[in-house]
Chains A and B, each alone.
Chain A
Amino acid sequence: MSHKVSLTVNGTAHTREVEARLLLSDFLRHDLGLTGTHVGCEHGVCGACTILLDGVPVRSCLMFAAQINGKSITTVEGLSADGKLSPLQEAFRDAHGLQCGYCTPGILTTMTAFLAETPKPSEGDIREALSGNLCRCTGYQNIVDAVKLAAERMSAKP
């Protein structure tokens, strides 16, 4: 039995028929072709598949596509506009906050929401907010610095 879902992803409306068990992560990646959302564990630990659901970071591997009727989703593809990096993305580049880049989309969505709520974070705040996203390449230090840098730049530019 399939379910009809209508939703907005990165500002674009979509309507699709989905099987009940289709994971939201698979729906975004394979039905909508938004492969920027990465899948790392499918049990909610690694954080790579984190997306913004009505602005709030959630694991897309722990939701079913059937659940998102009427919702608005932002994926990593929606963080930049017309190829212009967001201040957070720019800071990741400047501070070398990524290596293989696989965990990066989930970290960007998580930290985008974090900075919106915590515009002037301490290093401890950042590490705490980041602790639900696993990165195997960077040792986190440059990610922390990138978030700090983004926060500074964003608060300097009101």
Chain B
Amino acid sequence: MKPAPFRYAAPASLEEALALKAEHGDEAKFLAGGQSLVPAMNFRLAQPAVLIDLNGLDALAYVKAEGGTVRIGAMTRYHTLQRDKTIGSKVALMAEALPEVAHPAIRNRGTLGGNLSHADPASELPAVVLALGGTLHARSKKGARAITAKDFFVGVLTTALANDELLAEIELPVFPPRSGTCFLEVARRKGDYAMMGVACAVTLDAGGACSDVHLAYCNAGETPVAAPKAAQALKGQRLDDKTARDAAEMAKGEIRPFGNVHASVDYQRHLAGVLTRRALIAAYGRARA
């Protein structure tokens, strides 16, 4: 299990990295934390001709709160995010999901940008960013563009990034007061990809009814999958066991899991129902707190 040969480049600036990517296109891969890419290379499932190492680009590692948003540099490592006070206070959904991502030694290397660009539908953070309605800022030699999370994830391990683009920054909205979030998953072992996971956010109006609900799932289809109908149906409703169950039933119909050696499709769907109900109730409780 040794990687195939490749050319290694460690650019000193973002511009240099983007120039290299523009030059090599699909032949080249960015190396962020490497916690998904390097295993794939060791199995020779990935054989990039050129590897552009981003680990020297400290300017891409930051967390900034600005107005109603939090901006995260793509090279920010999970470990940093987990300990970041801004993330803890303003992006609680991500803070709750981070401990479920792999194990400490992996989180010490893995980066948010690398994770999202890898676009593994079983991964936790794509679902979190989708539930949060994040905006992904891409950079290329030609310029910059913003892609909504909804449009960013295109398929299994496939994003909307062009072959000269780099995901440079992740912009996440901060939910208004009377909001609560919850991330729940069921994995075979702690740290494994979830058999099913749900990222949920609930905002209440002054009367205590849902004004805004977001639901997104990991391992529920070819991309992180949202359940907009279930979320929409809850608007104007109070969350109780009955409404949560009804929403969970709807969400089960919206996801498209395909099963694997660990979980049948039916079981995945069943889990989505259970987790949706539990997450909604928990998020609702937090919104009221």
A sample of 9 more A-B contacts (CB under 8 A), given A20-B51, A67-B55, is A21-B5, A23-B3, A23-B42, A26-B2, A44-B106, A56-B79, A62-B39, A66-B8, A131-B191
User: What residues of B have a CB within 8 angstroms of the CB of A61 in the complex?
Assistant: 38, 42
C-alpha spacing A139/B5, complex, angstroms:
39
Are B6 and A20 closer than 8 Å at their CB atoms? yes
Interface centre among A19, A44, A47 (most CB of B within 10 A): A44
The reply to whether the CB of A43 lies closer than 8 angstroms to some CB of chain B is: yes
Q: Whose C-beta in chain A lies nearest to the C-beta of B55?
A: A67
C-alpha spacing A122/B194, complex, angstroms:
26
Q: A43-B43, A67-B55 are in contact. Are A58 and B8 (CB under 8 A)?
A: no
Q: A43-B43, A44-B39, A57-B104 are in contact. Are A62 and B109 (CB under 8 A)?
A: yes
The secondary-structure label for the interface of chain B is loop
What is the size, in residues, of chain B's interface with A at 8 Å between Cβ atoms? Answer: 30
6 cross-chain CB contacts under 8 A: A21-B6, A23-B2, A43-B42, A67-B53, A132-B103, A132-B106
Distance between A28 CB and nearest chain B CB, rounded to angstroms: 15
User: What residues of A have a CB within 8 angstroms of the CB of B105 in the complex?
Assistant: 47, 50, 57-59, 110, 132
User: What residues of A have a CB within 8 angstroms of the CB of B229 in the complex?
Assistant: none
User: What residues of A have a CB within 8 angstroms of the CB of B8 in the complex?
Assistant: 1, 3, 20-21, 64, 66
User: What residues of A have a CB within 8 angstroms of the CB of B189 in the complex?
Assistant: 131
Distance between A26 CB and nearest chain B CB, rounded to angstroms: 8
C-alpha spacing A3/B6, complex, angstroms:
12
C-alpha spacing A66/B6, complex, angstroms:
12
- Partner of A129 from the list B3, B104, B109 (CB cut-off 8 Å) is B104
Count how many pairs of residues, one from A and one from B, have CB atoms less than 8 Å apart in the complex: 84
C-alpha spacing A73/B127, complex, angstroms:
35
* Chain B residues near A (Cβ < 8 Å): 1-8, 10, 31, 34-35, 38-39, 42-43, 51, 53, 55, 79, 102-106, 108-109, 189-191
Are A20 and B109 closer than 8 Å at their CB atoms? no
Distance between B212 CB and nearest chain A CB, rounded to angstroms: 34
Q: Mark A126-148, 1 if CB is under 8 A from B, else 0.
A: 00110111000000000000000
Q: A3-B8, A57-B108, A66-B8 are in contact. Are A42 and B190 (CB under 8 A)?
A: no
What is the size, in residues, of chain A's interface with B at 8 Å between Cβ atoms? Answer: 31
User: What residues of A have a CB within 8 angstroms of the CB of B190 in the complex?
Assistant: 128, 131
Q: Whose C-beta in chain B lies nearest to the C-beta of A132?
A: B103
C-alpha spacing A97/B38, complex, angstroms:
31
C-alpha spacing A42/B2, complex, angstroms:
8
User: What residues of B have a CB within 8 angstroms of the CB of A79 in the complex?
Assistant: none
- Partner of B109 from the list A26, A59, A64, A69 (CB cut-off 8 Å) is A59
C-alpha spacing A61/B102, complex, angstroms:
16
Are A44 and B104 closer than 8 Å at their CB atoms? no
User: What residues of B have a CB within 8 angstroms of the CB of A66 in the complex?
Assistant: 8, 10, 53
Distance between B48 CB and nearest chain A CB, rounded to angstroms: 11
Distance between A23 CB and nearest chain B CB, rounded to angstroms: 7
Interface centre among B39, B51, B104 (most CB of A within 10 A): B104
Distance between B106 CB and nearest chain A CB, rounded to angstroms: 6
User: What residues of B have a CB within 8 angstroms of the CB of A44 in the complex?
Assistant: 35, 38-39, 106
